[in-house]
Amino acid sequence: MTILPSTTSPDRRPFGLVGLLPWLFAAVVVGYAMVVGGYAATVVSFALIYAVFVTGLNLFMGFAAQVSFGQNAFAAIGGYLSAVLTASHGWPPLPAMLLGIAAAVLVAAIVGFPTLRLKGHYLAMGTLAIGLITYEITVEWQSVTQGYMGISGIPPIGIGPYEVTSDRGQLILLSLVVAACAFAAARIRRSRFGRALSAVAGSEEAATALGIEVARYKLLAFLLSAGFAALAGSLFVHVVGFVSPEVFGLHMVIVTFTMLYVGGIGTVAGPLVGALIVSLLPETFRAFKDYQDLAYGAVLIVLLIYAPRGLASLFSPRGRS
Amino acid sequence: MADWSYIPQVLVSGLGIGCVYGLIGIGFCVIYNASGIVNFAQGAFVMLGGMITHVLFARNGVPLPLAALVAVAAVAALGVAIERVVVRPLWNRKATMFVMILATLAAQIVVERLTLIAVGDQPKTLPVFTDRPPLMIGPVAIGYQLIWIVGGSLAIVAALAAFFGLTRTGKAMRACSINREAAALQGIPVSRMLALAFALSAALGAIAGILITPTQYTAFNVGVPFAISGFIAAIVGGFGRPFGAFLGGLLLGLLQALAIVGFGAGLKNVAALSVLLLFLFIRPSGILGAAK
């Protein structure tokens, strides 16, 4: 049972020096990208978007110890709704993003209700199926999604005439979003809700005996996670200005799980650290593009076998398995 | 639009692909019964079966039957390798089911990407085993490859039934699936059975891949859809029942063939996945009931 988060109350002390290290690392990387700009800024921007997604994944899988291989479905719903509404129907970005997130959460509620009753490999396969169905629909529903061609000409995030178009502007905006997400995750973890999730993670029977409505909390965590995923999907399409089905395919599942495990599942800083490391590493040998997914898969296997609690756990005194 | 006079023809081809799904589904069950593990790398075996045969046959001029045999043996060896390198360490650590799924899914991606690097992304195919015009039964054309697929699958199912029912090793594997600890106490080498289950399952996947490749094509990324169809077959048949899985595969093949007529080929995977979700939500123990 090594992936379970600590079931004791979360640490209430202010951050120690060691606990601060992951945030320091993130600040240095983002700061560097901010100074250098250009390509480095683009890479770090993508990493921050992934960090939003993985933060949501971590809520459901780290805090509540549930399984979902299909969160990419909600990123796709958020992303495509944003893209279609802004590029094809002329909506401003912000309402489109909000509607995208709302729609993703609604879909999550509809599919989550029956799906979360499943356990074990049934749950794993059920959620994987949801992700794959969404992928197939984005490929096949060409009148709306334009299939593999994708949708281009998506406007950047902005209000009225004020648009965030520069590399640095996007980086600042995304950093703020990620900080807000991490803050929310930290608060959730210490809240009554977070403690309930951690009880569910420890033992569903015991949690039920304590009067926790397990099914309700699982569904809530799933919806929150879907909301984060949709936000990440929306951010992606507005930052890149283009979306195609491949963006939210199986590749995304593997990459985000690698990030979650590299950073440390069940920790607050883990998703951000994992997203940054996993995004930056392949850039150092960018010439080998075909080898990227290979490397992700191999790294994931090695981590699962030798460091199941991730790298961030090395910084945390509570991170022992 | 849909022309319903095609239906018998469509059902016949659905039966062929259904046999293949069934073989893959049996592969899932064999590993699951021996270990309780659901091996998400199953698709890699299917893809490699067709791919290795293609490489040996088309690039190196090895005769087709020999190429197929070598491919099956190589994929079985890969199955054992995955069991040793990926599954065994996690198994020894008593990792959770979820970690095991993720690790095997990652193994699937690794094999897929290595194949992409080795042979490129162009689809490959094999010649049909018997190159003659199809048999005509009324308006229905039955290609010789279909006969190979159905005949081969039935022969394999029969061989498996004999293996599990008559041989010492087969009986030992069944004992492991009933109760691993009790099996170990009887002196059955449970861990060797796990390796054997991976070899057997990989070989089944490879055979399925070789049989189906002449009617479709194979490419580095065909594995996952095949694995999912095989998994659906296993669920529909009641997980852990090898012969239920074969039946489930046939059913899925037929349903998918009808879905192609009704909604177009593009949505065949959506149809199959919807069948999966329906079964998971309404009757997760499958049509025959789960094995346990």
With a pLDDT cut of 90, the percent of chain B lying above it is 34
Contacts of A239 (CB under 8 A, 6+ apart): A45, A46, A49, A156, A157, A170, A174
Placement of tokens 């590299």 in the chain: A262
User: What DSSP element (H or E) covers B68?
Assistant: helix B64-82
Residue B102's pLDDT is what? 86
Q: Chain B residue closest to A290 (CA)?
A: B117
Q: Are residues A293 and B113, on separate chains, in Cβ contact within 8 Å?
A: yes
The tokens describing A73, both together, are: 């479905």
Residue B173's pLDDT is what? 87
CA atoms within 13 A on the CB side of A261: 26
B197-219 tens-digit pLDDT = 999 999 999 999 999 998 888 88
Is B64 in CB contact (< 8 Å) with chain A? no
Distance from CA of B39 to the nearest CA of A (A): 10
Torsion angle in degrees (nearest 10) through CA of B208, B174, A67, A117: 110
Strand A242-243 and strand A162-163: the pairing is unpaired
Q: Is A216 exposed, middle or buried (0-12, 13-18, 19+ CB in 10 A)?
A: exposed
Chain B residues touching A121 at Cβ < 8 A: 38, 97, 101
Mean pLDDT by 10 residues, chain A (321 residues): 47 60 87 84 90 94 88 94 89 91 95 86 85 89 84 81 80 92 92 90 87 90 95 93 86 87 86 89 64 82 81 52 38
Chain B residues touching A301 at Cβ < 8 A: 86, 103, 106-107, 110
Is B106 in CB contact (< 8 Å) with chain A? yes
Residue A321's pLDDT is what? 38
Helix (H, G, I), strand (E, B) or coil at B62: coil
Q: Are residues A294 and B284, on separate chains, in Cβ contact within 8 Å?
A: no
Q: How far is CA B48 from CA A28, A55, B74, B155, B221, in A?
A: 44, 36, 9, 22, 10
Chain A residues touching B107 at Cβ < 8 A: 297, 301
* Res. B292 pLDDT band, cuts 50 70 90: very low
Distance from CA of A159 to the nearest CA of B (A): 38
Q: What is the DSSP string of A71-138?
A: THHHHHHHHHHHHIIIIIT---HHHHHHHHHHHHHHHHHHHHHHHTT--HHHHHHHHHHHHHHHHHHH
For chain A, domains (ranges, CATH) are 18-314 (1.10.3470)
A149-191 tens-digit pLDDT = 888 888 888 776 777 778 888 898 999 999 999 999 999 999 9
Residue A57's pLDDT is what? 94
**Cβ–Cβ < 8 Å for B238, B286:** yes
CB-nearest partner of A126 from B99, B270, B277: B277
Instruction: Give chain A's contact residues with B (Cβ, < 8 Å).
Output: 1-3, 67, 69, 114-115, 117-118, 120-122, 124-126, 128-130, 132-133, 136-137, 139-140, 250, 254, 257, 290-291, 293-294, 296-298, 300-301, 304-305, 308
Q: What ipTM does the predicted assembly reach? A: 0.81
| Residue B27 or residue A118, greater confidence | B27
Among B277, B282, B285, the residue to mutate for chain A (most A Cβ within 10 A): B277
Residue A2's pLDDT is what? 44
Residue A9's pLDDT is what? 46
Among B85, B98, B275, the residue to mutate for chain A (most A Cβ within 10 A): B98
Is B280 in CB contact (< 8 Å) with chain A? yes
Residue B291's pLDDT is what? 53
The tokens describing B151, both together, are: 């005949």
Tell me the count of A-B CB pairs closer than 8 A.
Answer: 117
Q: Mean pLDDT score of chain B, rounded to an integer?
A: 86
Chain B residues touching A294 at Cβ < 8 A: 109-110, 113-114, 117
Q: What is the DSSP string of B264-288?
A: -GGGHHHHHHHHHHHHHHH-TT-SS
* Nearest Cα to Cα of residue A5 among A67, A68, A65, A69: A65
Chain A residues touching B113 at Cβ < 8 A: 290-291, 293-294, 297
